Amino acid sequence: MSNYEGYKSPLSSRYASKEMQYCFSDQCKFSTWRQLWIWLAEAEKDLGLNITNDQIAQMKNHISDINFEEAAAEEKLTRHDVMAHVHVFAKQCPLAAPIIHLGATSCFVGDNTDLIVLRKALDILIPRVASVIHCLKSFAETYKDLPTLGFTHLQPAQLTTVGKRATLWLQDLLMDERALKRCRDDLRFRGVKGTTGTQASFLQLFSGDDKKVKDLDKAVTALAGFEKYYGVTGQTYSRKVDVEVLGSISSLGTTIHKMCSDLRILANRKELEEPFESTQIGSSAMAYKRNPMRSERCCALARHMITLYANAANTHAVQWLERTLDDSANRRLSLSEAFLSADAALLTLLNITQGLVVYPKVIEKHIAQELPFMATENIIMAMVQAGGDRQVCHEKIRVLSQEAGAQVKQFGKDNDLVERIRKDPYFQPILGNLETILDAKTFTGRAAQQVTDFIEEEVDPILKGYESVVKNIQIVTLNI
């Protein structure tokens, strides 16, 4: 079978970074298993078991040089992935063979490796979120004063600003940064707990010395770089941990989908556009098209992120008693795909936010079509201040508005309400102030100041923790 006749995940062949792919690679997984066996042996030796420096040195010499073909053959024979790798490692380290995996169960390497990988993967994702926040902050500041139509029910509503709208996306991303960081900081190590979590095998190794078993748990946890271990486990760490982690990734997916859906709507209105390269083809048939393919990709990946939460939740729900193995195949898919999808979506979103293009003239045109209707109350108030009768003015405006609306809806013409007001002698007292009354910036309230306040009070304090990250942001180019 050639390379083109077997299935390849698009997450690895098209979308996710090499950095994130390595986290979930066989090389990372099985070299981490070996590292865990070394940490276990070191801690057991320090606590008095008969393990030599030569045995540990031999293991260290073979952390990375894994014979994957031999391991696959062993697994086919034994039907047990951990024992297959124990056998292969033992052949490479004959001195250490008697003490590899001493006292441990399969979940010692399996679960602890998963926790190490989750931590590494979160350490990749969180700075990506911070980078997107940084780029969006700049965008919001640049366009904080630019009026644009607000929408409720996807219908034109009171004006906002382009920058203010961006703060809505920013606020969601700040919540995601908090959730992901909390997941990362809350992660603990499974440690050395034995087959059903009772540590019985280790208690036997240390001749019933309870303190040494606890010290072993602490020592291996520290060697792995964790501050804490889970105080109690079954055979596995609680799959509730996966629920929390994938929950935060699923929540990030909702943020990305909402933001990129907004961008697609705005692209449809030609008010805003994602980067579009000079050689990029929007459509195989319609050469003029500039499809928002990056935002569409983000939405597609985000939907996958959202659905994977159900996998984690349902898996935790059926972990009967101390554990069942129906979590294994599911987690091989859901954990890796959640992080690879999130990585790909964030890289694409970073590319988008580094090159968003705004078209003020189009935005101005759309405002001009709706603002006259929105300004009618201000016009009435100005007429009253000039000595007019509110009820008479209201009726005048109502009639002219209906006539202008008919021109727009029935004949597809521009909104000509302002011209009708100019031509009506009744409104002569306020014509000199009409341009001021219709100034779009007077309809945006505190939007611009809200942007400034939000960035100073909410965004900057978070970005302060990522100064080295934002200082070294690279321009993202998408391979495909």
Catalytic residues, by residue number, are 153, 283
Distance, in Å, from the CA atom of 352 to the CA atom of 346, rounded to the nearest integer, reads: 10
- Among 140, 139, 43, smallest CA distance to 99 is for 43
Q: Give the residue carrying structure tokens 């770089």.
A: 225
DSSP class of 145: T
Contacting residues for 361 by C-beta, under 8 A, at least 6 apart:
none
Q: Please, what sign has the CA dihedral across residues 152, 247, 261, 170?
A: positive
Apex CA 12: angle with CA 10 and CA 16, to 5°? Answer: 100
CA distance 224 to 193: 15
Looking at the chain, how many residues does it have? Answer: 480
The pairing of beta strand 155-161 with beta strand 272-273: unpaired
Tally Cβ neighbours within 10 Å of residue 85: 25
In what helix (H) or strand (E) does residue 357 lie, and over which residues does it extend?
A: strand 357-358
- DSSP E strand stretches across 81-176: 147-152, 155-161
- Phi and psi at 294, nearest 5°, equal -70, -45
Long-range contact pairs involving 9-12 (C-beta distance under 8 Å, separation at least 24):
9/337, 9/340, 11/337, 11/340, 11/341, 11/344, 12/340
Torsion of CA 258, 263, 264, 268, to 10 degrees: 140
Q: 138: burial class by Cβ within 10 Å (0-12, 13-18, 19+)?
A: middle
Residue closest to 241 by CA, chosen among 305, 335, 147:
335
Sign, CA dihedral 45-49-52-56, equals negative
What is the residue type of 223?
L
3-state class (DSSP) for residue 158? strand
**Residue 432: Cβ within 10 Å count:** 8
Half-sphere exposure at residue 314, Cβ-oriented, CA atoms within 13 angstroms: 9
3-state helix, strand, coil in the chain (%, to 5): 70, 5, 30
